[in-house]
Amino acid sequence: MKARIAVLPGDGIGPEVTAEAVRALRAVAARFGHDFGFEEAPVGAAAMDAGQEPLPAATLALARECDAILFGAIGALKYADPAARIRPEQAILGLREALGLYANLRPVVPQPALHVASPLKESLLGGVDLLIVRELTGGIYFGRRTREADSATDECRYTAGEIERIARIAFRLAAARRGRVTSVDKANVLETSRLWRETVTRVVREEFPAITLEHQLVDSAAMLLLTRPASFDVLVTENLFGDILSDEAAALAGSLGLMPSASLGDGRRGLYEPIHGSAPDIAGRGIANPYGAIASAALLLRHSLGLETEAAAVERAVAEAIAAGVLTPDIAPRGTDAAPTQAAGDAVVDRLRVS
Ligand code: IPM
Ligand code: MN
């Protein structure tokens, strides 16, 4: 298969981890006989440093032309002033909105070899295999904002149509898994959540009668994620709740650095990024965990290119590298030698080379 992949490394550790994801994709191309072309473009603080907007028009144009987008991370301390009008983060929000990527998939599958890296008791982690489906282009992230000297507002708005389409994605994915969906809202307080609950319930009744749907309030869901994580299959929720719960769920896997994501719309084109940020404190030192970025490349193969065998091969290679003890500092047991970023990338590439 021939595919064009836009590579937007961004800031901080973004370039380091994205480079390893590209190497993994090149190894896949070599082993399975595909022709992947990679085209890099600046985004975020990296673009601002070059005197451009956080999301330069040429970068957005490239993203539109390609079959898939591999994204690194965004954000830099020098542009972190909360009062700034232009911020690096606008690039990722702009990409999601412009490309209509309303569905964000964040799988959480703790590796047995890393149970010790999680702050949770090992007895809670067995059998955890959950998927957070986060609505990505609506809600408070994209509502109207106002600011006066000593007051501010952020509007949270959802339409039934926005809720229906994300619910369908969650139900479809659940149908191919264990058939259970937990919809997370705050329907005891928020009007948007009441519309959310009503709409999700209608969609399951009319279109997915075989799915088991339960509703959880977000505060309770946050606790249950830690007290009975194995009971969840698919969680579907609005933008802000999904942002928060997915970082929380990363603790189950042992590190934010392991967590991949796929951002999808109605077509095949998607954006793939690890859920971690730019981690300026460790940037440039070659110690960032690339497994989340590499696992995001696996999602790219699966969702945008339809290459399931290849996606599974990448996921297996990551799991085997971890099981073999090739662990970056964030997941290495205290007192052991941690692997640098490139060594973790090598461990995956080596495993992808063998047939
Ligand atoms: C994420 C990030 C982004 C978000 C930031 C960088 C805007 O935290 O992808 O989870 O809040 O969506
Ligand atoms: Mn986040």
| Final residue belonging to a domain, choices 191, 223, 253 | 253
pLDDT at 141 over 70: yes
Coil/strand/helix, residue 71 = strand
Helix then strand then coil, % of the chain, to nearest 5: 45, 20, 35
pLDDT at 346 over 60: yes
Q: Are residues 192 and 249 in the same domain?
A: yes
Mean predicted confidence (pLDDT) in 128-154 = 98
| Final residue belonging to a domain, choices 253, 271, 306 | 253
Q: Pocket of ligand 1, candidates 243, 244, 272, 275: which has the most ligand atoms within 8 Å of its Cβ, to mutate?
A: 243
Q: How far is the CA of 115 from the centre of ligand 2 (A)?
A: 23
CATH number at 179 reads 3.40.718.10
First to last CA, the chain: 19
pLDDT at 355 over 60: no
In what helix (H) or strand (E) does residue 342 lie, and over which residues does it extend? helix 341-353
Instruction: Specify if 167 maps to a domain.
Output: yes
Instruction: Specify if 169 maps to a domain.
Output: yes
Mean predicted confidence (pLDDT) in 279-292 = 97
Protein residue with least CA distance to atom 1, ligand 1? 275
Instruction: Specify if 112 maps to a domain.
Output: no
Q: Are residues 270 and 320 in the same domain?
A: yes
Instruction: Specify if 110 maps to a domain.
Output: no
> How many whole angstroms separate alpha carbon 315 and alpha carbon 114?
15
**Ligand nearest, relative to CA of residue 136:** 1
Query: b/e for 226-248, b at 16 or more Cβ within 10 A?
Result: eeebeebbbbbbbbbbbbebbee
pLDDT of residue 297: 99
Protein residue with least CA distance to atom 4, ligand 1? 243
In what helix (H) or strand (E) does residue 105 lie, and over which residues does it extend? strand 103-108
Q: Are residues 224 and 246 in the same domain?
A: yes
Show Cβ contacts of residue 287 under 8 Å, excluding neighbours closer than 6 positions: 328, 329, 338, 340, 341
Length of the chain in residues, anyone? 355
Q: Does the reported pTM lie above 0.75? A: yes
Q: Are residues 235 and 135 in the same domain?
A: yes
Strand partners, 151: 148
Structure tokens at 295: 């696992």
Query: Predicted confidence band at 82 (pLDDT cuts at 50, 70, 90)?
Result: confident
Give catalytic residues, as residue numbers. Answer: 141, 186, 219, 243, 247
Percent of the chain with pLDDT over 90: 97
Protein residue with least CA distance to atom 7, ligand 1? 89
Mean predicted confidence (pLDDT) in 117-146 = 97
Q: Are residues 260 and 194 in the same domain?
A: no
The residues lining ligand 1, judged by C-beta closer than 6 Å to any ligand atom, are: 74, 89, 92-93, 243, 275
- For the chain, how many structural domains are there in total? 2
Q: Are residues 135 and 228 in the same domain?
A: yes
| Structural domain range at position 248 | 119-253
Q: Are residues 271 and 338 in the same domain?
A: yes
Q: Are residues 227 and 330 in the same domain?
A: no
Residue-wise pLDDT tens digits, 46-57: 999 999 999 999
Q: Are residues 265 and 221 in the same domain?
A: no
Ion ligand 2, residue ranges at CB < 5 A: 243
Q: How far is the CA of 314 from the centre of ligand 2 (A)?
A: 24
Protein residue with least CA distance to atom 11, ligand 1? 243
Query: Predicted confidence band at 83 (pLDDT cuts at 50, 70, 90)?
Result: confident
Instruction: Specify if 111 maps to a domain.
Output: no
Q: How far is the CA of 202 from the centre of ligand 1 (A)?
A: 29
Query: Predicted confidence band at 270 (pLDDT cuts at 50, 70, 90)?
Result: very high
Q: Are residues 204 and 304 in the same domain?
A: no
In what helix (H) or strand (E) does residue 145 lie, and over which residues does it extend? strand 145-148
Amino acid making up residue 147: R
Mean predicted confidence (pLDDT) in 243-249 = 97
**Ligand nearest, relative to CA of residue 141:** 1
Instruction: Specify if 216 maps to a domain.
Output: yes
Instruction: Specify if 108 maps to a domain.
Output: no
Burial class (CB in 10 A: 0-12, 13-18, 19+), 298: buried
Query: Predicted confidence band at 183 (pLDDT cuts at 50, 70, 90)?
Result: very high
Q: Which of 273, 316, 348 is nearest to 109 (CA)?
A: 316
Q: Are residues 137 and 235 in the same domain?
A: yes
Mean predicted confidence (pLDDT) in 55-70 = 98
Ligand 1 atom at shortest distance from the alpha carbon of 93: 7
* Structure-derived torsion over alpha carbons of residues 328, 331, 335, 339, reported in degrees to the nearest 10: -10
Ligand 1 atom at shortest distance from the alpha carbon of 239: 12
Query: b/e for 33-70, b at 16 or more Cβ within 10 A?
Result: ebebeeebbbbbbbbbeeeeebbbeebbebbeebbbbb
Q: How far is the CA of 182 from the centre of ligand 1 (A)?
A: 22
pLDDT of residue 354: 75
Instruction: Specify if 114 maps to a domain.
Output: no
Percent of the chain with pLDDT over 70: 100
| Final residue belonging to a domain, choices 195, 219, 253 | 253
Q: What is the DSSP string of 113-142?
A: GGGGGSSS-HHHHTT--EEEEEE-SSGGGS
Q: How far is the CA of 209 from the centre of ligand 1 (A)?
A: 33
Number of Cβ within a 10 Å radius of residue 153: 10
Q: Are residues 135 and 98 in the same domain?
A: no
